[in-house]
Structure formats: C-alpha cells, structure tokens
Structure 1
Amino acid sequence: MFERSILKDLRQWADNPYRKPLILRGARQVGKTTIVGQFSREFENYLPLNMEKQEARQLFESTDDVKQLLPMLFLYCNVQRSPGRTLIFIDEVQASPHAVSMLRYFYEEMPEIHVIAAGSLLETMLDRHISLPVGRVEYMALHPCSFIEFLNAVGEERFVPWLQEMKLPNAFHDQLARLFNTYALIGGMPEVVARYVAKKDVVSLSAVYNQLLVAYRNDVEKYARNNSQTSVIRYILEEGWAFAGQSITLGGFAASAYKARETGEAFRTLEKALLLELVYPTTGTTLPLVSDLKKAPKLIWLDAGLVNYAAGIQREYLLSKDLNDVWRGMAAEQIVAQELKTLSNDVGQKRHFWVRAKRGSSSEVDFVYLYDGMVIPIEVKSGHNAHLKSLHQFMNETPHDVAVRVWSGSYSVDEVSTAEGKRFHLVNLPFYMVGMLKEILEKCMTKWG
C-alpha cells in the first residue's frame, strides 16, 4: 500500500500538544479507514471502533465518563494496554450522536489520548441529527489521490523530487504527460488506483467504478430530507456527470423539469456528502474573494475517473494526446480542479473562477488560487499567449505580476505584456506539475524578489 501525503499532516496533528479530537472528513471510499489504519502503526495502542456495530454503540452510550469508558474500550477491542501512545478511531461516528458529543470530554478530560472520528455520511447529518462540540474538535479533509500520490503508487516516485525542484529534463516530458493522462483517465479513488497498479488494465476497473456509483446512489435515502429530494438527487447522480467542468443552471438542470430551488437543495446536499462542488465565480482580483452566487456555477465532481466512466468518455482519452481536446476541454478543467483541491487538507476550502464585473463582458479565467495574499489567475489552455485575453484582462486589474497557464507543453516562464502595457510573469505549467503549484510559486517569488 502506497503512503498518502495526508499522513504527514496526521503526524503533525498527533505531535501537537494542543491538539483536539480530529474529525476526518471525506466522501465515501476515499480511504479514511485505510489511512487511519496505516497511521495506527505509529502508536503503541490502537482501538478501532465502528459505531454501526450495536455493541460498540452501546458501549459509548453507556456512560458520559471517558475515564470510565477507556478501559472498557480496551476490553472490547481485546487489546492489552502497553506503555506509550493510544489512538482511538471512531468510524461511522454519525451512527451515534452520543459518541460525537463525547469527543469534547476526551479533549477536556483526557487530552493525552489521540482520537480520530470519521463517517461517510457525517457531513449530510450535521445540523439535522448531530451537533458537533464547537471549539472542542478540529477537522482535516481527505481527497482522492493526487497525481503525486499516483506516481508513488505506480512506482514512478523517482520523478517527484525533480518535479519539486522544477528541474525535470524535457526528455522526460512525454513520459510524464502519458502518466498524467492515465491518471486523468482513471482518477484518484484509492481502490481504483490500487486495482490499476495490480493489473495495469483500465477495462478491469469498470466493476470498481460501478460499485462506487451504486454505493453513492444507495446512500440517497440517507442524504435526502424527503421523497421529492430523493428523486432530484438520484437524477443528478445519474445525469450530472456529463456536465463536469461546465457552467450549469439549476432550474431545468440536465433537461429536467426540476425548479432551481429543489435542484439547488439537492446539489447542496451532495456538496455536504463531498461528492461534488458548485464552484462559483468571483469578480475580484484582490482579497477578500467573494463568491457571486447570482452567477452560474461550474460543476466539479469528486473524481475525474468516476466522471469519465459514468459519462462514457473514457475512449476519448485514448484517441487524444492533449487533455484540452478531450470532451471539449471540460476533462482538463475537471482534473485541474481536482488537483487544486489536493493542495490543502483544510475543510471548507472553496475553489473559484473569475469573471469580469463589467456589464456585457465575457472575460473569464478558469480558476483563481490564493497564494501569500495574492489572487493568482489560472488558465487551462494551449496555444499562444495572445489567445489568453481574459487572463490579460485579469492582470490589468490586479496589483501583482504573476499568472499561470496549465497546458500540455513543458515548464517555462514567459515575460508578457498586456495591450495596456502591464508586464507580468506567465508560468507555463504542464498538467503533471499542478500538484506542485505552491512549491513552484514559492521558488518563483524568491527568484523574482
């Protein structure tokens, strides 16, 4: 099993003397239980509990005294306590609101115990059946595997230091581009990546994709508030994959008869389940970024591999050498958005794109990224610099001088001027380097002073 990058953040959490019980958030099947199992090897005592099991649930609900509860947990898990650190993992915690409430008592009365909680449906039940102990817990998000994690999984980790140092010889560009196209095709769901590593056969992944999609659809009754919302959510989970990377309208979404209000509620429920995100535009080029909820959002799904399978576009990847040509460029935007999401484990992190506030303007930049107090524009395009009109317009309105183009070419930096005379650095970033964006910007800023 390859090591996920989130383990580094888990170690930092564990070593923090002021840590609080951690709630690990992520969609179903992104590997939360597996990650905690790997992390548990670094502890002398590990107590895994699943709140969907009646005995474990009854144990937690039998007392409010965590000091009294702890020896019972060792007994239940059949673990002889050893000197050293103890990690308690409470899985499917949403099945026991009482277990959620007890997290505060671990923080207040037994801070030396490491506690992690997770639940595939926890997000959809917050504020309905469950109240989290505010100020007594902290959060971390787990996403599908990034391209860097994919390289580690397929045994190509030798490229990672070269990418981080921006010193990859051009001779390896085509090889990295092919690897990234494979990643963009199959996506980053851990089970899919593991199956691909074992068999190197894309066709064999169909059963895994189908199992994941069926599991998400079967969860609908747990997500939905009523029968009407159940129908809308099911419709989105059946038809919505074909709209990945596109701006959508809520009313009449995907040629349905559903109204904007009921579609919006369904989308927000699926957002809580972390299956998708409605990415709204901002009109600002400086902080703070404010989402313009009156404008149409882009639909970005959890994982590109699921999109490609569910929307039936896998074959296009095999026939194209440039991601910008696949599925009218929407595939490129989906996978870049997915890579941008992996740059942070912060819960609640939102992505944005930019539109010009001027009435009648059609200027749009695919994404913006916050770095060191700056709003960095990111265009996902091939072609000449002159074709980046919206990005030039953005740079005219922002005080800094750095922009990013994600493309199929090699890494380079151009000195560019807008028609109005604003000079700026254009960082041309291959798709396979998007996951290094923070490191690249840091090195560039240091170089440019």
Structure 2
Amino acid sequence: MTVLIVGAAVSGRAAMGLALSDSSDVVVYDDDPAAIADLPPSVVTVNATTYSDALRDASLVVLSPGLPQTLGIVEDARGRGIRILGEVEFALEHIATPYCAVTGTNGKTTVTGATADMLIASGRKARAVGNIGAPLSAAVDEDADVFVIEMSSFQLHTATSFHPSAAAITNIAADHLDTHGSFEAYSAAKAKIFTHQDSTDLLTWDADDEGASAVVQRAGSRLVPVSATGLPDGGNGVVAGEMVIGDWRFIAPDVGPAFTADLLMAATLARHMGASEAGVSATLGNFRPGVHRREQVAFVAGIAWVNDSKATNPHAALASIRSFERVILIAGGRNKGLDLAPLPNEQNVVQTIAIGESTPDLVAAAPPGSIVTASSLDEAVSIADSIAVPGDTVLLAPGCASFDMFASYVERGDVFRELVTSMVEES
C-alpha cells in the first residue's frame, strides 16, 4: 500500500510516521524543499511538478490541515477516485479509544485543555490532541482512556466519518473566509463535528452565541446548551454564583463570561466522558487562562497591559475588548477577509493603534481622531505608553493573523510581553 502525505509540517510528519509504522510505502508532497530535506531515506519526496507518477501508485492521500482543497495534487487524486483523508481521520482508523471533540471560532484550546484536565483529575488517562498542537497520529500508541480532540474548520472540512461520542461548539463567527470563501461554507465545515452523531451522543454549545445556536439546530444529537448568564432549558449554566452541571454544583470562577462558558462546556464534555465531580471541581478551582489569552503582563501606575495575541479574529478581539472598561487597543495584522470595523468603533475603545497590513482598513473604519498608526509593535507600545492614563487597559487584541510581521501569534505575544517588561524595568 502506498500512502501519499500532502504537507510535511507537524501533522504531515506525524501521519508519515504512522504510515511507516504500518509498513506502507510513503510518499510526501511539499513544495518547500526545506520541509522535506530531512525525511527518512525510505520516504519518496515529490512536489507540484513531480507528483504524477507517485499519485498513480497511491491508494490513499492524507491531507494536512490548512492546505487548500484546490491544490493540483488533491484535485488530481479526487479525479482518479483515490481515497482522501485528513490526518485526524487517518489516525482514528488506527485506534479504538473513545474520543470527544471541540470546535468553534474561539475558545477551542481552552475547552480542549480544561476537558482533558478534568478527566485527568478524575483518574482517567486523557490526552488532548489535534489542533491544540499534538497530532493524533503521534499519539496512536499511547495508553489513553480517552482522547480530547481539538478540531479546526480545516480539519473538519475533510472529515468523512468523524464521530465523537461528545462534542462542543464554542461559538461560530466569521473567520478564515479567505480560505473557505463564505461564512456559510465555514459554518458547514464546523457542523461536520456532529454529522455522524445520533441521540446517544452529546452535543454542547454556548447558547448565548447566535452562530453556534443556529448551526446545532441541524444536529440529531442529545443537545445540552450552556450559558454563562443563566441556566438554559435542558442545559448547564450559572445561577446565583454557582456553576450548575446537571446535579453537580460548584463555585463559579471569577473569569468573565467567555471563559465561564468555556468551562461549562468542558465540564459538560468531561462528565459525559467519565469525569468525577471531584475532578471537575479541582480543575475549576485551579483554572487560569492560558498565555496570550487576556494575559496581564504588567500593572503600572494604574495602567494594565494585557496580551491577547490569540485574538486572531474580530469575534475574539471584541470579547476581549468588552472585558475592560477603558481600552487603548493595539490591533491589526494580516486580515483573513473579515470586517474589522467593529474594533475601533467599540464604545469602550478610547484610542486605537493600528499595526500591520490591515492598517488602512482600520484607519478607514475608525472615528476621526481616534486612531494612530505604528510601523512596528515596538512603536505601538511606545505610543500606548505616552497616551495611557490611570484606569486604562492597553490591550493587544489584534483581530488579525500575525503572519505579516511574526511567525505566529505566540511570537507576537512574546514580543509584546518582552517590550512591556523592558519598558517597566526602565521606568
């Protein structure tokens, strides 16, 4: 059997390793010579001009997430009737371990991590995998009781038989329209998380989110809504400062509505997958937002400096902005075909500092006199320092991808933290 892996980044390499463990003949496609330079000698490498012979012999194509379906090799494989799988479904064919899954525009990683933590605190051998950064293909041989799989729209787009026994949709707002082409196509990809579920499978979502609430109406699953603002019918929520998960009651952490909804979904999933009340309680008590997610990096002279570099779309940025009373907003980067106008026009934004490729869009949308531009993040921090007054929050919530200026949102957030830390030390 010949397996052709499309893409030699993290997921592709994990799929390659799994295919090699099956004693399959493996071909890896990537147009970046550096990506395929250090592969094992037994692996054949091809690119856009040399794949034809390899494709003729292939019985399976494994597509790495994020690569377009319009790639010539993918279209040719489809035209030849060759089976095409995403990396996650390829891995699932090698395991019998139960799994649950999480998707959504924002909050996926928080819900995935918290669900796994609740199960681990309950004595279960749980493993968080998928879009969270650990490919499932690399975890196939692990001794796990349950996998918690974070699924992006790209991973779900190629799904054909994905069937989690429990699933969560955190929210659905416009994102990645530069790839999916329309909000409808993006939503349809997200909906694939429940396509194969039935009434014995659980589906939870944030009932306060219009996008998720609309999509789940098509599901045949057992529906369990959650809300950070109340207790929805048939679901879980917050009442009088208590988090309600079925007949379990916990003190609700003071983490704001977005993270509260994330924790409600995590607890709903974890309980379904075998978590204990004590395990859920311990995780809720220890919860802290992850780095680059509304991370306060300094509080000086009454001014808070907050890193939310993970806010890579307007939906996430707006949720962040609304968490603070007065915001000096650092926004911009590489837009993904989304409307950035709400960011500088949010009522508690007193000044916007625009950075990156999307600067013209932000300037055009902002009220007169409410926006300045910066050629670098360093300059943006300096400008914010010169205009911030006690009570302000200087918030990095870009609403855009980072790739015009940085390798990732992580690098962008790290640079912001370093700049602020240096500024504080020098003051």
TM-score by length of 1: 0.28
Flag the structure with higher strand content. 2
Structure having greater relative contact order (Cα 8 Å, sep ≥ 6): 1
Relative to total residues, which structure has the larger helix share, 1 or 2? 1
